[in-house]
Amino acid sequence: MLTRGSISTGQIVGLFIMCGFTGFIDRSDRINDPNAALRAMSAMIAHRGPDGEGSYFEPRFGLGLAHRRLAIIDRSEAAAQPMVSPSGRWVIAYNGEIWNHQEIRQELRAAGVQVGPSTGDTATLAALLDARGVEAALPQLDGMFAFAALDLHERVMWLVRDRLGVKPCFWGHADDGRGAPVFLFGSELRALAACPVFRNRVCPMAIASVLGSLSVRGARTIYEGVHALRPGHALCVDLSTGRVSEREWFSVRAAAAAARAQGFHGDRTEMVRAFDGLLESAVRRRLMSDVPFGAFLSGGIDSSLVVAAMRHAGVAPLRTFTVGFEHTEYDERAHARAVAKALGTDHHEVMINDADLVSLVEDSIGCFDAPFADSSAIPTLAVSRFARQSVGVVLTGDGGDEFFGGYERHLRGFTLSRWIRSVPLFARRRMADAIEMLNGDTWDRTLRPMEGVLPAALRRTQRGRLMHKAAMSLRAADDEELWRSFFAVWPEPASLIQRLPSDLWSSTVAREARDMPRHFPADADGFFDELLLRDQTNYLPDDILTKLDRCSMECGLEARDPMLDTRLFDFAWRIPPAWRTDGTVGKLLLRESLRHRLPKELHGIAGRSKQGFGVPLRRWFAGPLAEWVDDVLSPKRLEAQGILDGKAAHAALVQARAGDEGAAQRAWTACVVSRWCEREGVDGERVARG
């Protein structure tokens, strides 16, 4: 523990520390033992940094700062955090990687700026803050990061999150109703909740968000009074007054508009060549590490491109990892195996076995600091644990769909929008009712013989699930409802929550729809762009990147995303709309690039429809998870817990076992909410009234 009253500024106690931070600002001496509070909060994120810990306390401001490190770059004690800048002005705790830190370091030294002895990017960031301050420094940073920076001269503390929200950051006030609230912050909510004065209630709107769209979305969190710092935002806390101000330092929309205005000047061959160069550069920038490397390989387009670029960069040995299921429509091992063989990787497979499934499911719920019901977290956790046995860092293909248009909604969204405008709602509802008369298995059997003449969207596995999603979309009254239907699970999630009036939920959804920064354009290209923008600002940080961060960091594995490179972001928005999709498949550019990297006999992989990282929930509910789910969704148990409507949740399970794919998703979200709350000791009395 470093206390400024007893130890000089330059000394930070701790060892090799980097991948999680937390802390508090207690201006009213509410916390009796600051050191004990920091230890308790830090212990809750020990999994993010198993290689060491460090802490700092400034009694003048009642500010405590703790850090945990996963040692990836510079494993020496010189890289210990919290770190004091060379001038002594800044104390920082940092999580992530800055890909261009060597270039920044060279520029600083050329300008005569002192950089600390560590060779890592934290020391570079500290020196950059010395030279330019937070606001001028941020546009220079290319990386995935979140950090807390205490400015001892200006007496303020900054919290910062990267452009796209790869790394998490939360903040808020702990209020037990007995005195002035304490300001809390950190990489995970569980660290904030470990503060001795934290008594915040659970937010029913957040539970509704999970039930409605799998995760807590936007700035809201599972706790009242606590917020997610949004991607590309910075928060400044005045340590004298406690005043909090937030500002956006990077706007996805503004950056996309600027790139779109710039355009791409060249033919298709030049475009593919430019993409290849940018991807390989992005991969190379993410290869800095002092620990072994690997990659997740599903056999899909994005992960295959990343692995091919790693092979071209000379990574050896190149270890690749994939996860398999016993149910063939969800299993991609054959595709991954073929790509791995073609690229000459050291390939490894892990199977999700029925005997271990209950334990894995429980762990997948417990590794999140809020209910998270995207069931692909189960295989993500499994493959992360498996990879961690032999590597410390993996590269992934996440971001390719959100940047280049790989989801079905990108291809079918505008067509559905035109249907909504031209077909009366009552007629569409009858169509939806007709679709839902057949369960998922029946749709699969019905459509299989017609595969040769079906639209591209239905020439794939899990057709029944897709048909039921289409039925939900047909019920949308307008474009905003259509967009929400792409993610919807429970159509009226408030009806499942005992303490949330349905009219309050409806009014909140309506207000959020009005507050959306842009409405959907009435042309195909504009509609496509708006879907991408919303994915990049909502779905990507709140679902995909949350899942990857928690599942990988739970086992001390660092995941890096080359597809999220800032230069690839700009490039993706410069591509002419006609070059992104032909109306039947998306990611045309990525598909063409992959064909150049694989032998001819594997070109079919580049033409595959997106399979997704789904799991066989409905089959699990009837098999290895049957006893577990019956127990979790027991009406008596749920009613006693006092959060969810037991009859409605159990009815979803009954419908799922009768073949309803959508009901299986609904039952799963109820399971996640109930079990997460039980694990955290949350009952109906802890949930705030709507």
Are residue 268 and residue 227 in the same domain, yes or no? no
Would strands 2-3 and 53-58 be described as parallel, antiparallel, or unpaired?
A: parallel
Lowest mean pLDDT among 72-86, 205-219, 308-322, 627-641: 72-86
Contact 516, 665 (CB under 8 A): no
What would the two tokens of residue 130 be?
């010395």
What's the pLDDT score for residue 623?
A: 93
Matching residue, tokens 């003048």: 60
Q: Which domain holds residue 359?
A: 263-404+535-606
Q: What is the pLDDT of residues 18-69, one digit of tens each?
A: 489 999 999 988 999 999 999 999 999 999 987 788 999 999 999 999 999 8
What's the pLDDT score for residue 450?
A: 67
Domain boundary among 606, 625, 653: 606
Contact 124, 115 (CB under 8 A): yes
Q: What is the pLDDT of residues 93-130, one digit of tens each?
A: 999 999 999 999 999 999 999 998 888 899 999 999 99
What's the pLDDT score for residue 579?
A: 85
Phi, psi of 678, deg, nearest 5 = -60, -45
Alpha-carbon distance values, 537 to 94, 105, 217, 575 (Å)? 23, 30, 10, 19
> Does the residue 114 lie in any domain?
yes
pTM, full prediction: 0.92
pLDDT above 70 as % of the chain: 92
DSSP codes joined into one string, 255-272: HHHHHHHH---S-HHHHH
CATH at 286: 3.40.50.620
Cα(19)–Cα(145) distance, rounded to whole angstroms?
A: 9
> Does the residue 176 lie in any domain?
yes
Cis peptide before 82 (omega within 30 of 0): yes
Backbone angle region of 314, left / alpha / beta, with phi > 0 → left and psi within -120 to 50 → alpha? left
* Residue 653 in this model has a pLDDT that exceeds 50: yes
Q: Under DSSP, is residue 2 helix (H, G, I), strand (E, B) or coil? A: strand
> Does the residue 166 lie in any domain?
yes
What's the pLDDT score for residue 10?
A: 28
Phi, psi of 323, deg, nearest 5 = -120, 145
Mean pLDDT of the chain: 89
Are residue 290 and residue 362 in the same domain, yes or no? yes
Q: Under DSSP, is residue 161 helix (H, G, I), strand (E, B) or coil? A: strand
Q: What is the pLDDT of residues 188-197, one digit of tens each?
A: 999 999 999 9
Q: What is the pLDDT of residues 510-547, one digit of tens each?
A: 777 667 667 899 899 999 999 999 999 999 999 999 99
What is the average per-residue pLDDT within 297-326? 93
* Residue 13 in this model has a pLDDT that exceeds 70: no
> Does the residue 493 lie in any domain?
no
What would the two tokens of residue 474 be?
């047909």
> Does the residue 487 lie in any domain?
no
Matching residue, tokens 């969810």: 644
What's the pLDDT score for residue 73?
A: 56
Q: What is the pLDDT of residues 599-616, one digit of tens each?
A: 888 887 776 665 556 788
Q: What is the pLDDT of residues 386-436, one digit of tens each?
A: 999 999 999 999 999 999 999 989 988 998 999 888 999 999 999 988 888
What's the pLDDT score for residue 607?
A: 67
Are residue 220 and residue 269 in the same domain, yes or no? no
> Does the residue 331 lie in any domain?
yes
What is the average per-residue pLDDT within 584-612? 81
> Does the residue 491 lie in any domain?
no
Are residue 542 and residue 664 in the same domain, yes or no? no
What's the pLDDT score for residue 51?
A: 79
Three-state SS for 543-568 is HHHHHHHHHHHHCCCEEECHHHCHHH
* Residue 630 in this model has a pLDDT that exceeds 90: yes
Cα(589)–Cα(302) distance, rounded to whole angstroms?
A: 11
Cα(156)–Cα(437) distance, rounded to whole angstroms?
A: 60
Are residue 182 and residue 227 in the same domain, yes or no? yes
**Confidence class for position 461, pLDDT limits 50, 70, 90:** low
Are residue 50 and residue 70 in the same domain, yes or no? yes
Domain boundary among 220, 250, 280: 250
What would the two tokens of residue 80 be?
């210990």
What's the pLDDT score for residue 1?
A: 37
Backbone angle region of 254, left / alpha / beta, with phi > 0 → left and psi within -120 to 50 → alpha? alpha
Are residue 638 and residue 688 in the same domain, yes or no? yes
| Sign, CA torsion 360/363/367/371 | positive
* Residue 8 in this model has a pLDDT that exceeds 60: no
* Residue 499 in this model has a pLDDT that exceeds 80: no
Are residue 635 and residue 577 in the same domain, yes or no? no
What is the average per-residue pLDDT within 165-171? 97
Contact 674, 211 (CB under 8 A): no
Are residue 53 and residue 165 in the same domain, yes or no? yes
What is the average per-residue pLDDT within 319-331? 85
Are residue 305 and residue 230 in the same domain, yes or no? no
Domain boundary among 250, 282, 298: 250
What's the pLDDT score for residue 162?
A: 98
Are residue 37 and residue 154 in the same domain, yes or no? yes
Crossing angle of helices 661-679 and 463-474, rounded to 10°: 90
> Does the residue 470 lie in any domain?
no
Cα(118)–Cα(121) distance, rounded to whole angstroms?
A: 8
Are residue 189 and residue 289 in the same domain, yes or no? no
Q: What is the pLDDT of residues 222-243, one digit of tens each?
A: 999 999 999 999 999 999 999 9
**Confidence class for position 457, pLDDT limits 50, 70, 90:** low
What's the pLDDT score for residue 131?
A: 96
What is the average per-residue pLDDT within 633-657? 95
Cα(552)–Cα(536) distance, rounded to whole angstroms?
A: 21
Contact 483, 520 (CB under 8 A): yes
Matching residue, tokens 């990525």: 590
**Structural domains of the chain, count:** 3
CATH at 23: 3.60.20.10
